[in-house]
A and B are shown apart, each in its own frame.
Chain A
Amino acid sequence: MNAPAYNFAYLDEQTKRMIRRAILKAIAIPGYQVPFASREMPMPYGWGTGGVQVTAAILGPQDVLKVIDQGSDDTTNAISIRKFFAKTAGVATTTSTDEATVIQTRHRIPETSLHANQVLVYQVPIPEPLRFLEPRETETRRMHALAEYGLMHVKLYEDIARFGHIATAYAYPVKVNARYVMDPSPTPKFDNPKMDNCPALQLFGAGREKRIYAIPPYTQVVSLDFEDHPFEPYRFNAPCALCAAENSYLDEIVTDDQGSRMFVCSDTDYCEGRQAAGHHGALSAAPYKDKAQEASNG
């Protein structure tokens, strides 16, 4: 590594202390949005400035960092942030969910279940779940303070009235520890059940909106619903085309201009791990690779 031109993990120590204080407060009050003095980061708002600040504040030299964007380790955003910390903190990076101690994520929770020594850091664009129903910040804060969450159900009611079912598919509101209603950032509602009683610490950073919130390990997280329209996680009709996983979140990939498409795991690490373990889907290239290898050997 080059001689560091920055303090360890880019931010100065006083800023990190300020962010850590906000994180501690957020952990003490699960689901409560703690304001913090968000700094400008060397990337545009919307690219994960909140998540990066939280990661910078909690990262230690021994940590192993994994960054995913929509489940994938190899998109521009994920690679840039991973390189950013490799350069400014000199920490080890990985794409393996199991080996990572800090995982920064945008829009997904890894399929591999997390364990107690991990921290999941979410990048959050809009932390306020009531924002689109009640534009006044003063009013939404008061509603949180008094636990007046009738309005959240108005949104779900509207969904059912319009579409016949709760059509909210991402940023699906949850109630944390039976108190605060929280926006789980734009993760698909498929991932909501993974937040409940999770052994890993979950931290949420919103850089532009200057808020940090958290779900401590083993905390109850309930997705809001109606008695007669219960919460249902997303279901897919087909398995992953590459690794044949039946229970993972799939991305649709258009493969030509004739309307063909394939559905593959959005979590690339999970998909690759399964393929390495010998699971092959309908469109997997593995049989051809095997044959090619046999041919070159023979």
Chain B
Amino acid sequence: MADQDLLETDQPLLVAESLSKSYGRIAACRDVSFSLYPGEVLAIVGESGSGKSTLLQLLSGQLAASGGQVSYRMRDGVTRDLAALGEAERRLLFRTDWGFVHQDPAQGLRMAVSAGANVGERLMAVGWNHYGRIRESASDWLTRVEIDVARIDDAPRTYSGGMRQRLQIARNLVTGPRLVFMDEPTGGLDVSVQARLLDLLRNLVAELHLAVVIVTHDLAVARLLSHRVMVMKGGRVIETGLTDQVLDDPREPYSQLLVSSILPP
């Protein structure tokens, strides 16, 4: 059993090998390689247009790469190339073992159906067929993301921005994924709500031993959540390392510029 656990954390969960994507002559992403281990949080930072979001889409299999490959260690322990998975398998992976938190909650939620159904959808998609148990699980998750259970039957339309984002997180985590992709999860929220959301995320990530790839332009988010940081510019990874190392002692001129452009409070 102990060996099993060791194996579990010893091998990378997600491996990107010289990943690239070009749109005609424009290279949105060039030669990106890294490994992500279970329970590890990797932040991808950089200015807009640096290829962060393209990279996230390549990693999550939503976009076909022009070169290189992404492999993922499935729940059965076998590492497989994402491009070689069938569409059905990829979609199953996407709603069971993975999560994807969009910047705009409206993209990740069904705005017209109730919060409970939003959280329960993934469970029903994997064959849960007992209303009582689905609802119980949904209310449990609403509590965990600090949403009042009394609002379980309200549509997310009636929720505030922060609540929507927390609901989106609950919806993603309900099937116990091992890897969550986040695209600017705190963008568009005001500062106090951001702080609360980050706090919540940090707890959940630690508690559930989640691996996370988080794309952000906000270095504070990277500092608070991530273990490692990759700095991107012009589609390339220009610097990578432990979070405090990169943020406190940046080596590349562009990273230095990025760090120094944070306004002092």
Contacts and interface: CB of A to CB of B under 8 A. Distances in A.
B176 to A, nearest CB: 16
A227 interface: yes
A142 B91 CA distance: 11
B129 A153 contact: yes
B248 to A, nearest CB: 46
A278 interface: no
B124 A157 contact: yes
B91 A148 contact: yes
Interface residues on A, range: 10 to 19
Nearest to A162: B153
B87 A157 contact: no
A114 B147 CA distance: 53
B88 A154 contact: no
B184 to A, nearest CB: 24
B121 A150 contact: yes
Interface in B182-240: none
B39 to A, nearest CB: 28
Interface string A129-162: 0000100000000100010101101100110111
Interface in A97-154: 133, 142, 146, 148, 150-151, 153-154
B74 interface: no
Contacts of A228: 130-132
A226 interface: yes
A151 B91 CA distance: 14
Contacts of B124: 150-151, 153-154, 157
B129 A157 contact: no
B70 interface: no
A154 B128 CA distance: 11
Interface string A31-60: 000000000000000000000000000000
A229 interface: yes
A226 B129 CA distance: 5
A229 B114 CA distance: 18
A160 B130 CA distance: 12
Contacts of A158: 113-114, 117
Interface string A158-179: 1011100000000000000000
Nearest to B126: A150
B240 to A, nearest CB: 36
Nearest to B130: A227
B132 A161 contact: no
- Classify the interface of chain A: helix, strand, loop or mixed: helix
Given A153-B129, A161-B153, A228-B131, A146 B91 contact: yes
Nearest to A226: B131
B138 to A, nearest CB: 9
Interface string B52-89: 00000000000000000000000000000000000110
B133 to A, nearest CB: 8
B157 interface: no
Nearest to A152: B124
B129 A148 contact: no
A146 B87 CA distance: 8
A151 B112 CA distance: 13
Contact of B116 (A133, A146, A157): A157
A229 to B, nearest CB: 5
B131 A148 contact: no
Given A157-B134, A161-B153, A226-B131, A150 B122 contact: yes
B213 to A, nearest CB: 25
A153 B121 CA distance: 8
B253 to A, nearest CB: 45
Nearest to A156: B131
Contacts of A227: 129-131
B172 to A, nearest CB: 15
A104 B254 CA distance: 72
Contacts of A148: 91, 125
Contacts of A142: 87
11 contacts: A146-B88, A150-B121, A151-B125, A153-B129, A154-B110, A154-B117, A157-B131, A158-B113, A227-B130, A227-B131, A228-B132
The 5 closest A-B pairs by CB, nearest first: A150-B125, A153-B124, A150-B124, A226-B131, A227-B130
Given A133-B110, A158-B114, A161-B152, 20 more contacts: A146-B87, A150-B95, A150-B121, A150-B122, A151-B124, A154-B110, A154-B113, A154-B120, A154-B121, A154-B124, A157-B117, A157-B120, A158-B113, A160-B131, A161-B116, A161-B135, A162-B114, A226-B131, A227-B129, A227-B131
Interface of A: 133, 142, 146, 148, 150-151, 153-154, 157-158, 160-162, 226-229
